[in-house]
Structure 1
Amino acid sequence: MAAAGADRRWVWIVVAAAAALPLLRSVVPDIISDYRLFLMSTMMIAAIAVLGLNLLTGFNGQISLGHGAFYAVGAYTAAILMDKLSLPYWTLLPIVAVVCFVVGFLFGLPALRLEGHYLALATFALALAVPQMLKYRWLEDLTGGVQGIVLLKPEAPFGLPLTEDQWLYYYCLIVTVLLFWAAWNLLRGRSGRAMMAIRDHSMAAGTMGIDTARYKTVTFGISAAYTGIAGALSASAIAFVAPDSFGFFLSISLLIGLVVGGVASLPGSIIGGIFTVLVQNSAQALSNFVKNDIGLPYDLSPYSVYGILLLVLMYVMPTGIAGGVVMAWRRLRR
């Protein structure tokens, strides 16, 4: 009990430090710039998306290569509601969560007949199909077709003296804390134990009276809802959605973030979100360093950077960064 209390205390210390970070902008404007705040907002959005995949794959054992599709559904649902119905951004998350939950639940029903790599291939097909469907000419009036939809970034409410990027940071921080808190409560309860029992041994869980079909489909829906909320936040943050932004590489990057951060670990989801954004934003800088400073005639794409880092981390930390940190801490304590 004392250890759990200490862990919660550290969590609230980290959240308080994150909340105070934008206030330091006037003190160190070069370090806490609007661009860096925007970058941290995208990290929190990626962490929510990785958490959604983690609930399905890490805690329930269902492999998905298509969570970029749910991310796209959430982003386009929010964009269409803001663009066509002029709904305020802060009313969208519950609607997006319900829509993506229904989509994930309905996809999870036929997926009950699939396991392992067959389920992975089905979700892979979903990731490939959704961006093409968004370009379909019959949906062009809603989705904007290839051109996408241009939006406005959210402004601070109640006349708060905050820039758009500062308010976006606080908005994403509030949503991230609430969603991780909800996931923590879900996993430590009866439903969470049932999810993990299905992951560890589905047949034994069914023998013990757990309704495996219901838990699998509901977990698919919850996972899709989390990832869809991340997509809705991304639409507000970037103020633009287009089909090509939700290609198959998005699904792969979420899966890599999950593996690198730590499967079946809530802190690992945060680490995975940070890793995903950092690699995407530093791939070009690393490519220039390799080509100009080291002298190798290569241009590193994000795919190459992902592959190299994944190989290194899987060799050094096979349980992910979160698992590696825990193991190192235990060794130091001994």
Structure 2
Amino acid sequence: MSDVDIPRTARLAVPSATALRRLAVALVAVAACVAPFQLEPFRVFQLTMVLVYAVALLGLNLLVGHAGQISLGHGGFFAIGAYTAAVMLDRWDTPHVLTLPAAMAVTFALGFGLGVPALRLRGLYLALVTMTIAIFLVPLLKRFESVTGGSMGLTLSRPEPPSWTGLAEDQWLYFLALAVATAAGLAVWSLLRSRVGRALHAVRDNEIAAEVMGVRLARYKTLAFAWSAMLAGAAGAVNTWVIAFVSPDSFTVNLSILLLAGIVVGGLGSTFGPLLGGAFVLFVPTLAQDVNQAAPGVVFGVVIILIMYVAPRGLAGLAGRGGRFLDQALRKK
């Protein structure tokens, strides 16, 4: 029997791009749940930090990739969230779980406040203004030594796993970070699929056209800053749980630059961009240090250039091209 004689309903169904994407998400979810039981504690710690950075990059992706605003100050919001949690743990002996909403509330308010004066700025001018947050925050934290611990920082306790879970400390911290990252990812996904997401995309693509269509630019640009800062603050709080130590020198302007590089390399406006960017932020600087301890910045820069040359739309865009190639190959069969 020839291929022409085979009824269409009897032919092998070719999975669509949507089905392949759902399959990829399911595989990632399964791997995320299994990983801490298969890896050694140090690798589990590394994956936990990838999730922490992914939460911060979710916020930065919302602002840069979907709202079209540039920020070089998200390392500052990360630090504010970390210190909010640290001060609550150190001074008031607050339960760890309560420091997360507190850090989110503080950074949301600060992000909203920054969004108001930033309404008149765009492009490099906006980037320079936001970068001042990361620049002056470090000496400010050192100045208030009685609260922040100054240059010596604060040493804290980690959240202990409940006995009923049977988990080790590193596994418990991993699942806490995974829960926060999952909740943040679902919240951003829902937001972007709503009318708010369409308004943000309209502002990104053409502000004048968006305003003509009735989009209130001031409202959505300010809220984008606030939401983005809130997620960076949430990441900072979880970072405090994992590291159990905060110091001003851990939150220099280099962190803000690294986060922006991470989301660009991961893929602006993409679903998996923050996760891939989180892996980039954690692993690439370490690898650059191992390759050349005298000039790790040179190695780091070369890696970024190579990635951008091979994948102009980021690692997520490269993965997307691979998925489309696979989809076309399956359909030809």
Same fold (TM over 0.5): yes
Q: Which of the residues 151, 166, 171 maps onto 1:161? A: 166
**Distance in 2 separating the partners of 1:93 and 1:112:** 28
Q: Are 1:15 and 2:29 counterparts? A: yes
* Mapped partners of 1:281, 1:229: distance in 2: 24
1:173 aligns with 2:187: no
- Gaps spanning 5+ residues in structure 1: where? 25-31, 289-298
Work out which of the residue numbers 205, 210, 224 in structure 2 matches 1:205: 210
Q: Distance in 2 between matches of 1:326 and 1:4?
A: 12
Does residue 40 (structure 1) correspond to residue 47 (structure 2)? The answer is: yes
Tell me, yes or no, if the aligned pair for 2:81 and 2:232 is still in contact at 8 Å: yes
Paired with 1:237 and 1:171, the residues of 2 have a C-alpha distance of: 9
Identity of aligned residues (%): 45
- Aligned AA (2:165): L
In the alignment, the residues of structure 2 paired with residue 36 and residue 187 of structure 1 have an alpha-carbon distance, to the nearest angstrom, of 32
SS in 1 for 2:292: helix
Is the 1:317–1:323 contact (alpha carbons within 8 Å) kept by the matching residues of 2? yes
- Write out per-residue CA displacement over residues 46-101 of structure 1, whole angstroms, 9 at most, x where no aligned residue: 11111111110110001011110000000000000111111111121111111110
Offset of residue 256 of structure 1:
0.7
**Displacement after TM superposition at 1:282 (Å):** 2.0
Q: Residue deviations 1:268-316, cap 9 Å, x none?
A: 111000011011322232226xxxxxxxxxx232x22321111111111
Corresponding residue of 2:92:
85
Q: Is the 8 A contact 1:51 1:266 kept in 2?
A: no
Aligned: 1:304 with 2:298: yes
CA root-mean-square deviation: 1.6
Distance apart, 1:158 and its partner CA: 4.1
Which residue number in structure 1 is paired with residue 314 of structure 2? 320
The counterpart of 1:109, out of the listed 94, 104, 116, is 116
Q: TM-score, normalised by structure 1?
A: 0.90
269, 275, 281: which one pairs with 1:276? 281
Determine which of 117, 130, 133 is the counterpart of 1:126.
133
2 CA distance for matches of 1:158 and 1:102? 37
Q: TM-score, structure 2 length as denominator?
A: 0.90
Q: 1:90 to 1:67 in 2, by over 3 A?
A: same
Contact 1:103 1:221 (C-alpha < 8 Å) held by counterparts: yes
Whole-Å Cα distance in 2 between the matches of residues 320 and 9 of structure 1? 21
> What CA distance in whole angstroms lies between the structure 2 residues aligned with 1:50 and 1:166?
23
Tell me whether 149-158 or 271-280 shows the greater mean CA deviation.
Answer: 149-158
Cα deviation for residue 328 of structure 1 reads: 3.1
